[in-house]
Amino acid sequence: MIDDLLQFLDNSPSPWHAVESTIERLDGFECLHEADPWNDLPPNGYVVRDGAIIAWRSPGGDIAPSSPFRLAGAHTDSPVLRVKPHPDSDALGWRQLGVEVYGGILNNTWLDRDLGIAGRVIGSDGTSTLVNVANPIARVPQLAVHLDREVNSKGLTLDAQQHLKPIWGVGISSSGEFASWIGSQAGLNGPAAWWELCLYDVQRASIMGADQSLIASGRLDNLLSCWAATRSLVEARPPAHTALIVFNDHEEVGSSSTTGAAGPFLEQVLSRLVAARGGTSEDFHRALAASSCISADNAHAVHPNYPERHDPDHRPIVNAGPALKVNANQRYATSADTAAEFQRACEAAGVPWQVFVSRNNMPCGSTIGPLTATRLGIATADVGVPQLSMHSARELCGVDDPVHLSNALTSFLTG
Ligand code: ZN
């Protein structure tokens, strides 16, 4: 089963690939398009909007239009380097690529890695093609210690504009060179007109530790949760409600977009599902009032070298189950009610669980949970698998926790 997670991680180097990897696992789910009329609603279906996807499973037969939803949410994007629109440049005999920092990367983790490139390219006729060049084509080389004598005593300082620019060959570059190269990699007849492309570490996801207890990979935050929720939806058997997964894009950059959790995607799909069953706006609001959501996004496991960065009574450890994330200031949406509901789901599935709370003197991150709760008024719990090295190009988590999370979500989605 964990092999399937490793494959999901390796095959999803961009949000659009994560959506494809999700669809591959939705056996028996029918694709609906937003621009089509939704009349004969299939019991199991999905709809894609760029780097976001929503899929649902309902009991089939006649389901009351006001019947509630049980949702599991996650996000498809990860902090990376993205290729700029005019990337061709060279300096002092090196060909370089102009990149833009996407989200809160740990700058130093991008140094000296063999980088591939993946995402989508748009041809001159407007067609969109997924591309994944999985062999190393670029690298951000670190300055030698001989030329930076204080790097180990004073720390590494990187300017995001100047020091994160990868090399991808030698010589002189010409304008349009990258567009032609990526166009041919994508199988286009000519140069790519536009693109959204991520550089990524080509080292494959792997099980590690002498006891095989850990997983090392890029993008564990938050493809791990996408994988777990997808598996849960496939296995869930909702008796009288609709189980649904929603994977948003752009969480790492604030979620305000057509595909982000602050955008309209989920609300539009939910209202259309109710309408397709013959429901009124009254039915829609009744359905939302009785619905609940688990927002799954990784949590910080306690770091053995920095124990002072964690609250001593709320610091999750790996392989001890998903953590309920609590924040009284509503950076997480978890309430006492929704926490108790997730606890019951875990206990029904025989899954251990933990609690994460930030220190009062440390800023707390956030997730799509509070956005879903705020936009739709759906009762939400934030949960996540504990991990180290969050937002590193290569993250680390326990080998047992992804299955723990998936089993808990299956129990929750089944109800
Ligand atoms: Zn995340």
Same domain, 46 and 72: yes
* Spatial separation of the C-alpha atoms in residues 315 and 317, rounded to whole Å: 7
Same domain, 291 and 315: yes
- State the Cα torsion 303-307-309-310 to the nearest 10°: 90
Which of 167, 201, 235 finishes a domain?
201
Give me Rg for the CA atoms of the chain.
22
Which of 166, 201, 236 finishes a domain?
201
Same domain, 64 and 85: no
Same domain, 175 and 228: no
Q: What percent of the chain has pLDDT over 70?
A: 100
Helix (H, G, I), strand (E, B) or coil at 100: strand
CA distances from 51 to 32, 109, 131 (A): 16, 25, 14
Amino acid identity of 242?
A: T
Which of 146, 166, 201 finishes a domain?
201
For the record, the structure tokens of 7 come out as: 């494959």
Q: Tokens 């993008």 — which residue?
A: 219
Distance 297 CA to ligand 1 centre (A): 5
Convert the pLDDT of each residue in 89-145 to its tens digit: 999 999 999 999 999 999 999 999 999 999 999 999 999 999 999 999 999 999 999
Residues sharing a CB contact under 8 Å with residue 127, sequence separation 6 or more, in sequence order: none
Structural domain contains residue 211? no
Same domain, 97 and 140: yes
CA distances from 27 to 81, 109, 280 (A): 33, 36, 31
Angular region, 350: left φ>0, alpha ψ -120 to 50, beta rest:
left
Structural domain contains residue 208? no
Amino acid identity of 365?
A: G
Residue 156 lies in domain = 80-201
Q: Average pLDDT for consecutive 10-residue bins of the chain (415 residues)?
A: 97 98 98 96 96 95 93 98 98 98 97 98 95 98 96 96 98 96 96 98 98 98 98 97 98 95 96 96 97 97 97 97 96 96 98 96 86 91 98 98 98 97
Same domain, 113 and 54: no
How many residues in the chain? 415
Distance 289 CA to ligand 1 centre (A): 27
Distance 220 CA to ligand 1 centre (A): 9
Distance 60 CA to ligand 1 centre (A): 33
Identify any residues that bridge with 100 across adjacent strands, giving them in sequence order: 82
Distance, CA of 23 to chain centre: 15
Residue 366 has what pLDDT? 82
Residue 35 has what pLDDT? 98
Same domain, 131 and 271: no
* Spatial separation of the C-alpha atoms in residues 171 and 185, rounded to whole Å: 21
Q: Tokens 């955008």 — which residue?
A: 263
Strands (E), 33-153: 44-49, 52-57, 69-75, 80-91, 94-102, 115-122, 128-138
Distance 367 CA to ligand 1 centre (A): 7
Distance 383 CA to ligand 1 centre (A): 11
Same domain, 251 and 367: yes
Distance 115 CA to ligand 1 centre (A): 22
Distance 62 CA to ligand 1 centre (A): 37
Same domain, 181 and 43: no
Distance 411 CA to ligand 1 centre (A): 22
Structural domain contains residue 206? no
* Spatial separation of the C-alpha atoms in residues 293 and 368, rounded to whole Å: 11
Same domain, 409 and 279: yes
Q: What is the CATH number of the domain that holds 69?
A: 3.40.630.10
Amino acid identity of 410?
A: T
Residue 61 has what pLDDT? 79
Distance 322 CA to ligand 1 centre (A): 14
Distance 296 CA to ligand 1 centre (A): 8
* Spatial separation of the C-alpha atoms in residues 7 and 393, rounded to whole Å: 17
* Spatial separation of the C-alpha atoms in residues 317 and 295, rounded to whole Å: 20
Distance 36 CA to ligand 1 centre (A): 32
Q: What is the CATH number of the domain that holds 188?
A: 2.30.250.10
Instruction: Count structural domains, the chain.
Output: 2
Distance 352 CA to ligand 1 centre (A): 21
CA distances from 121 to 57, 126, 135, 198 (A): 32, 9, 18, 11
Structural domain contains residue 213? no
- State the Cα torsion 237-251-354-348 to the nearest 10°: -10
Same domain, 242 and 187: no
Same domain, 176 and 246: no
β-bridge pairing 379-384 and 292-296: parallel
